[in-house]
Amino acid sequence: MSSQQKTVDYILEQSADAGTMTAKKMFGEYGLYCDGKIMALVCDDQLYVKPTQAGRDYLGEVTDGSPFPGAKPYFLIEGDRWDDADWLAGLVKTTADDLPAPKPKKAKKG
């Protein structure tokens, strides 16, 4: 089952204060980016945040989940937590700040 665009739009809207939020469709699901860093996935209308130590400290009690079979565990963020925009933006910013900058893409040979 794939995620609904309205779910992704809501998460982006709620976490907008974290930075420049974007989403990219990936195999019927979505990758969420904050300031150019992929920091979460939306799969089956559930939010999975990349695990970082800063994110773990922010969350306190963590629920692990796998966004798809064979994936490493992510932090599963329950839907009722999305309604608190300040809290969600804080988690997104904390996580993004703790992740390394994306590697520059190599130029294609033409």
Backbone angles phi, psi at 90, to 5 degrees: -65, -45
CA distance 56 to 75: 8
Percentage of the chain with pLDDT > 90?
Answer: 83
Average pLDDT over residues 44-53: 97
For the question of whether the overall pTM of this predicted structure is more than 0.75, the answer is: yes
Q: What is the pLDDT of residue 78?
A: 95
pLDDT at 97 over 90: yes
Residue identified by tokens 């150019």 is 36
- Per the prediction, the chain carries an average pLDDT of 93
Query: For the chain, which domains are there?
Result: 5-98 (3.30.1460.30)
Q: Per-residue pLDDT tens for 6-42? A: 999 999 999 999 999 999 998 889 999 999 999 999 9
